[in-house]
Amino acid sequence: MAASRGGRNRAGNRGGSPPARAKARKGGGGFWRFVRRLAVVVVLIALIAPPASVLVYKLVPPPITVLMVERLFEGRGMDYRWRPISRISPALQQAVVASEDQRFCEHHGFDFNAMEKAMAANERRPSRLRGGSTISQQTAKNVFLWPGRSYVRKAVEAWYTVLIEAIWGKRRIMEMYLNVVEFGPGTYGAEAAAERFFHEDASQITPAQAARLAAVLPKPLAWKAAAPGPYVARRSRHIGGAMGAVREGGLASCLAR
């Protein structure tokens, strides 16, 4: 009888007691339930946060951007002064349309023709990359995202671009762009740039000054609006000529009120 009981004990020990097995299964199931719930929370945040932030910034200015924080850590300072678009010279609005996105009032966030031309140019001259981003895409990146190049960031940028086109509209997009875009080291927006480079209010920027500000947008840390070199001076003159086409062709008409 003793041997029989010992055999039963040994057999029972090999598989563990039913309560022990149930506890082990319960512990494993609890871990995967936590993982599933965490995944659901992440997905919900990813779906809800972008529209919520876009709605908030439709009403209030962003207090700071990721790029501003990065430049602060680099020791470049931060001069950021919000101005409503009604207090920003129409010349600057026309200049950035002329230089950055002449189809701004026509497209819905993406200029596929410009993207194709940029890809073709980059294949011909890979050492000098050319961008095909619209003002809407640049605004989405500048306000909500981080600097850099990656497929993940471009995908998130595209989602934000769709949202701001749908929720903000063109005038608010331009207002946001002209307030957060970097015109020089630590200098963000039309008001800070106008005062730093020309000792003027943003509403008083002249067409020539607007062309110089728009000319430095691709490389604001290297190119100078106040004392432009030969290349920036040539680029400014080209933008100044294109501004006439913007005015005459009504290419900035969506910004009027």
CATH topology of domain 61-255: Penicillin binding protein transpeptidase fold (1.10.3810)
Distance between CA atoms of 242 and 220, rounded to whole angstroms?
21
| Cα 236 to Cα 251: distance, rounded to the nearest angstrom | 19
State the burial class of residue 237 (Cβ atoms within 10 Å of its Cβ: 0-12, 13-18, 19+): middle
Q: Global pTM?
A: 0.82
Q: What are the boundaries of each domain within the chain?
A: 20-60, 61-255
Summarize the confidence of residues 84-93 as an average pLDDT: 98
Closest CA to 225 of 199, 246, 244, 247: 199
Please state the rounded mean pLDDT for residues 154-174.
96
Per DSSP bridges, beta strands 79-80 and 182-184 are: unpaired
Condensed to tens digits (0 to 9), the pLDDT of residues 131-152 reads 679 999 999 999 999 888 888 8
Counting every residue written for the chain, the total comes to 257
Contacts of 164 (CB under 8 A, 6+ apart): 54, 109, 136, 139, 140, 172, 173, 176
Q: Give the per-residue pLDDT at 186.
A: 95
